[in-house]
Amino acid sequence: MLVIENLTKSYGQIKVLQNLNLRIESGEIYGLLGANGAGKTTTINIICDLLKADNGQITINHQPISAATKKIIGIAPQESLLYKTLTCEENLNFFAKIYGLNRETRQKQITEILTAVGLLDRAKSPVETLSGGMQRRLNIAVALVHQPKLVILDEPTTGLDIEARYEIWELIRQLKNQGITILLTTHLLDEAERLCQKIGILKNGRILAEGSLNELRALIPASEIVVVQTTQEKEAIACAKQHNFTPRRYGNELAFWLPEPLELKEIISLFEGINIDSIARQPVRLEHIYLEVTQQF
């Protein structure tokens, strides 16, 4: 569906994208992860033909990006596109006109899309009367009104409470079930874990690692991670190394990679003689992979 090959973009001496390569299959949810400044927004703007690359090539549904490919892309940016004083119906009608839908098609699409995002009963409600979660769903509805094949969701749940976030996640899953291809950018690593079939980790305009969650887990030689709280950290680290545990720090937490899974009693016994305040076992999560990959480069 979407293929990016050797994409480069610079602003003066600043290289924003450096031979970026990325491929998203039809019907897939692809999570693009990266800190601010990694190149996510620049990539999106080039995909949408709003910005020209210095070099490289992008094809969407086997077509080079152009005015024609804009019609098969829907985008829900992090900043809302919505006009707050207009109703849900009026917002969708406005954007449907921009995409060139005739009146009959607009009416049909507006009803279908509002139903899909669970807002049909709020069709006549001004946007300013909607909750934050409802506004995010309507923002996604705008991206869907012209029946695109590729939808770009830029930080779709940032700032939402957990209930609203779950609603957006369910909507995204429904879109995938309908065969829509989704490029999702997010800072919420659990969101990527739950939703994405493939994940790319972007830093300094390059994809450092890419694959399914299980494929990315293979980058860390650990079967599980143990987090320890102790006043004797030096002793704990020395003891762990004797048992081939790899020490790591995640924020203020001291953690160890275990090459093989062990029962909690076994782990505690290995630290005998060291004052351990707490100890917890964790699976290898995307946050561990992300930190390991990005800190290496």
Q: Are residues 197 and 100 in the same domain?
A: yes
If you average pLDDT over residues 235-256, what whole number do you get? Answer: 93
Taking the C-alpha atoms of residue 115 and residue 89, their distance in angstroms, rounded to an integer, is 12
CA 34 to chain centroid: 9
The strand pair at 2-11 and 14-24 is best described as antiparallel
Judge whether residue 80 has pLDDT over 90. Answer: no
Q: Are residues 201 and 263 in the same domain?
A: no
Q: Are residues 188 and 52 in the same domain?
A: yes
Q: Are residues 196 and 288 in the same domain?
A: no
If you average pLDDT over residues 5-21, what whole number do you get? Answer: 94
Q: Are residues 10 and 154 in the same domain?
A: yes
Judge whether residue 4 has pLDDT over 80. Answer: yes
Query: Per DSSP, what are the bridge partners of residue 224?
Result: 258
DSSP codes joined into one string, the chain: -EEEEEEEEEETTEEEEEEEEEEE-TT-EEEEE--TTSSHHHHHHHHTTSS--SEEEEEETTEESSHHHHTTEEEE-SS----TTSBHHHHHHHHHHHTT--HHHHHHHHHHHHHHTT-GGGTTSBGGGS-HHHHHHHHHHHHHTT--SEEEEESTTTT--HHHHHHHHHHHHHHHHTT-EEEEE-S-HHHHHHH-SEEEEEETTEEEEEE-HHHHHTTS--SEEEEEEES-HHHHHHHHHHTTPEEEEETTEEEEEESS---HHHHHHHTTTS-EEEEEEE---HHHHHHHHHHH-
Average per-residue pLDDT for the chain: 93
The model's pTM is 0.90
What's the pLDDT tens digit per position in 170-185? Answer: 999 999 999 999 999 9
Q: Are residues 254 and 284 in the same domain?
A: yes
Taking the C-alpha atoms of residue 186 and residue 158, their distance in angstroms, rounded to an integer, is 8
What is the CATH classification number for the domain harbouring 166?
A: 3.40.50.300
Identify the pLDDT of residue 53: 95
Looking at 217, 250, 275, which one is the last position of a domain? Answer: 217
Taking the C-alpha atoms of residue 168 and residue 134, their distance in angstroms, rounded to an integer, is 9
Judge whether residue 22 has pLDDT over 90. Answer: yes
Identify the pLDDT of residue 257: 95
Structure tokens at 184: 């999702």
Of 24-28, 67-71, 117-121, 210-214, the poorest mean pLDDT is in 67-71
Identify the pLDDT of residue 36: 87
Looking at 153, 182, 217, which one is the last position of a domain? Answer: 217
Q: Are residues 185 and 69 in the same domain?
A: yes
Q: Are residues 14 and 161 in the same domain?
A: yes
Q: What is the pLDDT confidence band of residue 297, given thresholds at 50, 70 and 90?
A: low
Number of domains in the chain: 2
If you average pLDDT over residues 157-175, what whole number do you get? Answer: 92
Taking the C-alpha atoms of residue 184 and residue 121, their distance in angstroms, rounded to an integer, is 28
Q: Quote the percentage of the chain above a pLDDT of 90.
A: 86
Q: Are residues 175 and 50 in the same domain?
A: yes
Identify the pLDDT of residue 251: 86
What's the pLDDT tens digit per position in 45-60? Answer: 999 989 999 999 999 9
Q: Are residues 8 and 63 in the same domain?
A: yes
Q: What sign does the CA torsion over 262, 263, 264, 266 have?
A: negative
Residue span of the structural domain in which 292 resides: 224-296
Taking the C-alpha atoms of residue 55 and residue 227, their distance in angstroms, rounded to an integer, is 45
Judge whether residue 296 has pLDDT over 80. Answer: no
What is the CATH classification number for the domain harbouring 272?
A: 3.30.70
Identify the pLDDT of residue 58: 95
Looking at 189, 217, 245, which one is the last position of a domain? Answer: 217
Q: Are residues 180 and 93 in the same domain?
A: yes
* Cα-only R_g, the chain: 23
What's the pLDDT tens digit per position in 84-126? Answer: 999 999 999 999 999 899 999 999 999 999 999 999 999 999 9
Q: Are residues 151 and 178 in the same domain?
A: yes
Cβ atoms of residues 57 and 210 within 8 Å: no
